[in-house]
C-alpha cells in the first residue's frame, strides 16, 4: 500500500514538474500558426458594388441589393465622395467586423 502511494506521489510530482515544459511547447505550437495566418487575413481583395449611406449614417458597399449583402467601409471620407455610385473598392476585409479597410475606391 505504501509503495503504491509512493509511486503515485512520484507520478504526481513528475506531472507537476513536467507540465510547464509541455504547456510552453503547446503554446509555442499554437502561436506559430496564428502568426503565419495573420498576413493571410489582411490579403488585399477587390469588391464591387454601390456605395450607400445606411440608416445609422455610416457608408457601406452594397454588393447584392436583393439579399441586402454588403460591407461597411472604414474610410468614410473617401466613401462619401461616391455615395449612390457603382464602384470598385480595393482593400482587405475584416470579417469579424464586416468592415473593408479601404486602400482605394474607383468608379466603375
User: Who wins on pLDDT, 78 or 34?
Assistant: 78
Measured over the CA atoms of residue 3, residue 8, residue 13 and residue 18, the dihedral's sign is positive
Measured over the CA atoms of residue 12, residue 14, residue 17 and residue 18, the dihedral's sign is negative
Select from 3.40.50, 2.40.10, 2.40.50, 3.30.200 the CATH code of 45-107: 2.40.50
Cell of 15: 506531472
Cell of 11: 507520478
pLDDT score at 42: 84
Which tens digits make up the pLDDT trace of 39-98? 445 899 999 999 999 999 999 999 999 999 999 999 999 999 999 999 999 999 999 999
pLDDT score at 41: 57
Task: Give 24's pLDDT tier (boundaries 50, 70, 90).
Answer: very low
Amino acid at each position: 500500500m505504501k509503495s503504491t502511494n509512493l509511486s503515485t506521489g512520484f507520478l504526481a510530482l513528475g506531472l507537476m514538474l513536467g507540465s510547464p515544459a509541455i504547456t510552453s511547447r503547446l503554446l509555442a505550437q499554437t502561436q506559430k500558426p496564428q502568426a503565419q495566418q495573420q498576413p493571410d487575413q489582411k490579403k488585399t481583395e477587390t469588391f464591387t458594388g454601390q456605395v450607400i449611406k445606411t440608416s445609422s449614417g455610416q457608408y457601406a458597399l452594397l454588393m447584392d441589393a436583393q439579399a441586402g449583402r454588403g460591407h461597411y467601409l472604414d474610410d468614410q471620407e473617401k466613401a462619401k465622395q461616391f455615395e449612390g455610385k457603382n464602384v470598385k473598392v480595393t482593400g482587405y476585409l475584416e470579417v469579424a467586423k464586416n468592415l473593408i479597410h479601404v486602400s482605394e475606391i474607383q468608379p466603375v
